Each structure stands twice: as structure tokens, then as C-alpha cells.
Amino acid sequence: QKEVEQNSGPLSVPEGAIASLNCTYSDRGSQSFFWYRQYSGKSPELIMFIYSNGDKEDGRFTAQLNKASQYVSLLIRDSQPSDSATYLCAPNSGGSNYKLTFGKGTLLTVNP
């Protein structure tokens, strides 16, 4: 069973702070990694994609990947109340038969 573990929430941070979301995965064959954001009652939307070890930055979001440690994280700088949502980590198993396995998600609340 391929497992994806995310830090248990809910996570609460004040506005302007850095929110840190963590994810570990068991499948060493995972090649790429997705972070989705899901507002309550809405469908998930992609916010970050990373496939190389190291950091990838996109605006206020930074994804960090360490394949040796089987760990991927998402940092949200200058958190805003509009960032309040559930964040889902999803490794891609790779190869032609790939499919995404989602973690249970971490609920983030940013307090004004």
C-alpha cells in the first residue's frame, strides 16, 4: 500500500506568518509531486508541481523536495486569510501507468 502522510491539522497561523505544510510518501518510485489547494465544498486546484530535488518558488509559495528522505513540503509566506483551505499532497508514481495518490490533507486557517 502506497502511503502519503501529511501533518495532521488543523494548522492555524496569524496573517502574515509563514505556514509550513509537510508530506512524506512511501513509494520510492514517485517521480513528481503535486500540491493542491481545496476550499471547502470546492474541487481541488493545482498550486505547485515539483519533480527535482531542492526548492521551487512561485510567488508566495515554495515547494521543497527531498527524494532521499521521501519528503516534500510547501511553505506559504505572508499568509493571507484567503489561503485558508485544505492542502493536499499527491505524489505521482511515475512511468506510463502513473496515477496520483493523495494524502488526507492539512486544513490551514489563517487568522486576520
Partner 1 sequence: DADVTQTPRNRITKTGKRIMLECSQTKGHDRMYWYRQDPGLGLRLIYYSFDVKDINKGEISDGYSVSRQAQAKFSLSLESAIPNQTALYFCATSDFGGQANTGELFFGEGSRLTVL
Q: Which residues bind partner 1 (CB under 8 A)?
A: 32, 34, 41-46, 49, 88, 90, 92, 96-105
Smaller CB separation from partner 1, 17 or 22? 22
Tell me how far, at minimum, the Cβ of 73 lies from partner 1, in Å.
Answer: 17
Tell me how far, at minimum, the Cβ of 65 lies from partner 1, in Å.
Answer: 14
Tell me how far, at minimum, the Cβ of 110 lies from partner 1, in Å.
Answer: 21
Strand-pair category, 85-92 with 32-38: antiparallel
The four Cα atoms 54, 109, 24, 35 give a dihedral, to 10 degrees, of -60
Which DSSP string do the residues of 61-81 spell out, in sequence order? EEEEEETTTTEEEEEESS--G
Smaller CB separation from partner 1, 28 or 99? 99
Beta-bridged to residue 24, according to DSSP, are 5, 71
Smaller CB separation from partner 1, 21 or 90? 90
Smaller CB separation from partner 1, 19 or 105? 105
Contact between 44 and 58 (Cβ < 8 Å): no
